A and B are shown apart, each in its own frame.
Chain A
Amino acid sequence: DIQMTQSPSTLSASVGDRVTITCRASQSISGSLAWYQQKPGRAPTLLIYETSTLETEVPSRFDGSGFGTEFTLTISSLQPDDFATYYCQQYTNSSWTFGQGTKVEIK
Chain B
Amino acid sequence: QVQLVESGGGVVQPGRSLTLSCAASGFIFSNYGMQWVRQAPGKGLEWVAIIWFDGSDKYYADSVKGRCTISRDSSENTLHLEMNNLRAEDTAVYYCARDNHGGTLDLWGQGTLVTVSA
Contact = CB atoms under 8 A, between A and B. Distances in A.
Contacts of B45: 36, 38, 44, 87, 89, 98, 101
A38 B59 CA distance: 25
A28 B25 CA distance: 36
B108 interface: yes
Interface centre among A32, A87, A96, A99 (most CB of B within 10 A): A96
B15 interface: no
Contact of B104 (A89, A94, A97, A99): A89
B88 to A, nearest CB: 21
Contacts of A46: 104-106
Given A43-B109, A43-B111, A96-B50, A91 B102 contact: yes
Nearest to A46: B106
Interface residues of B, number: 20
Contacts, number: 59
Chain A binding surface, main DSSP class: strand
B106 A100 contact: no
Nearest to A53: B101
A18 B103 CA distance: 29
5 A-B pairs with the lowest CB-CB distances in the bound complex, closest first: A91-B103, A43-B108, A49-B104, A34-B104, A96-B47
Contacts of B91: none
Interface in A93-107: 94-101
Nearest to B57: A94
B95 interface: yes
B101 A36 contact: no
A17 interface: no
